[in-house]
C-alpha cells in the first residue's frame, strides 16, 4: 500500500511533463526494481587510480550505495564526481562513514580507462578503483537502459530500497538521506532494522544542482 501511495506522489510531481504512457513506464520501473536483489560478480579486483591492484572488499553494512557507469559518451558528465563528493560527505556526516559507496565502471569506448584515470587524478581521489571490463555486473542484473536509473541504495541483503541518481535529482537525494537517516535514528533508539520491502524505490529525472569540496575515497569494481 505504501508503495502504491509513493508511486502516485512521484507521478503527480512529473505529471506536467509526462504523458500517460511515460507515467505507466515509470510506475512499472519502480515496481520491478523495488526489493530486487542485486547480484555482484565473483572475484572482484580493485585497483588504485585504475593502475594497480589494492586490497578492498565490499563491507558488510546496513546500507550501501551502488552506482553503475559505462563510459559511452562523456565520462566526466556521467560520473559528476564533484556532486558525488558533496553527497558522500553528507552521508558520512550523518552515519559516521558507515555507508560504503560502490562504483562499477564499464569502459565501452577506447580510452575509457584513460579518461577515468585522468578524472581521478584531477579530483585527487586517493581511493581503490576497479573496472568492470566485461560488464559482468550489468550482465548479471540487466540494469534499465536509462542511465538515470543506474544508481541504487541497497540494504544489508543487497536489495533495492531506492533507485535513482542522487546527484542528478534533489528529490532522489532526499529519499536516500531519509531512508538512511531512519535506519540511523532507529539504531540509536535500539529499534530493529527497517524492512526494505516497505520503502519503495524512486527513479526521478536529473536536476543540475551539485557541489564539490575535497577529495573522497570511493570504490569502483572490476571483474577479474
Q: Could you please report the per-residue DSSP string of 156-224?
A: TTSBEEEES-TTT-HHHHHHHHHHHHHHHHHHHTTPPPP-GGGS--------S-----S----EEEEE-
Give the pLDDT confidence of 92-114 residue by residue, as tens digits.
Answer: 999 999 999 988 888 877 667 78
Of 194, 178, 184, 141, which Cα lies nearest the Cα of 33?
Answer: 141
Q: Is the pLDDT score of 196 beyond 80?
A: no
For 10, the enclosing helix (H) or strand (E) is: helix 2-13
Burial label, 7 (beta-carbon count in 10 A; 0-12, 13-18, 19+): buried
| Between residues 128 and 85, the one the model is more confident about | 85
| Between residues 31 and 192, the one the model is more confident about | 31
| Confidence (pTM) | 0.78
Give the pLDDT confidence of 122-179 residue by residue, as tens digits.
Answer: 887 766 767 888 999 999 999 998 888 999 999 999 999 999 999 988 989 999 999 9
Model pLDDT, residue 194: 52
Q: Given the C-alpha cell 546496513, which residue does it identify? A: 62
Would you say residue 5 lies in a domain? no
Would you say residue 6 lies in a domain? no
Would you say residue 14 lies in a domain? no
CATH number of the domain to which 91 belongs:
3.40.30.10
Give the pLDDT confidence of 32-69 residue by residue, as tens digits.
Answer: 999 999 999 988 877 776 566 778 888 899 999 999 98
Would you say residue 207 lies in a domain? yes
Model pLDDT, residue 217: 41
Domain that holds residue 203: 36-223
Would you say residue 145 lies in a domain? yes
What gap in Å lies between CA 87 and CA 3, rounded to an integer?
A: 25
Model pLDDT, residue 12: 46
Would you say residue 18 lies in a domain? no
Domain count, the chain: 1
Angle of the 170-188 helix axis to the 81-95 helix axis, nearest 10: 20
Of 102, 89, 120, 94, which Cα lies nearest the Cα of 60?
Answer: 102
Would you say residue 21 lies in a domain? no
| Between residues 22 and 155, the one the model is more confident about | 155
Q: Is the pLDDT score of 181 beyond 60?
A: yes
Would you say residue 92 lies in a domain? yes
First to last CA, the chain: 42
Amino acid at each position: 500500500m505504501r508503495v502504491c501511495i509513493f508511486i502516485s506522489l512521484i507521478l503527480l510531481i512529473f505529471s506536467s511533463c509526462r504523458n500517460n504512457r511515460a507515467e505507466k513506464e515509470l510506475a512499472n520501473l519502480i515496481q520491478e526494481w523495488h526489493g530486487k536483489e542485486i547480484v555482484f560478480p565473483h572475484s572482484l579486483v580493485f585497483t588504485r587510480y585504475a593502475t594497480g591492484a589494492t586490497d578492498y572488499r565490499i563491507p558488510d553494512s546496513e546500507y550501501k550505495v551502488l552506482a553503475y557507469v559505462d563510459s559511452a559518451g562523456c565520462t566526466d558528465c556521467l560520473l559528476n564526481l564533484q556532486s558525488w563528493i558533496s553527497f558522500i560527505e553528507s552521508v558520512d556526516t550523518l552515519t559516521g562513514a558507515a555507508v560504503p559507496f560502490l562504483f562499477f565502471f564499464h569502459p565501452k569506448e577506447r580510452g575509457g580507462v584513460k579518461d577515468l584515470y585522468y578524472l581521478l587524478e584531477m579530483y585527487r581521489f586517493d581511493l581503490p578503483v576497479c573496472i568492470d571490463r566485461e560488464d559482468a555486473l550489468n550482465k548479471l542484473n540487466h540494469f534499465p537502459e536509462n542511465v538515470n536509473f543506474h544508481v541504487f541504495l541497497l540494504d544489508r541483503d543487497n536489495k533495492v530500497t531506492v533507485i535513482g541518481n542522487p546527484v542528478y535529482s534533489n528529490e532522489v537525494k532526499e529519499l536516500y538521506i531519509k531512508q538512511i537517516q531512519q535506519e540511523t535514528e532507529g539504531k540509536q533508539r535500539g529499534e530493529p532494522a527497517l524492512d526494505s520491502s516497505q520503502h519503495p524505490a524512486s527513479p526521478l529525472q536529473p536536476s543540475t544542482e551539485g557541489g564539490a569540496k575535497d577529495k573522497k575515497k570511493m570504490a569502483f569494481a572490476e571483474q577479474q
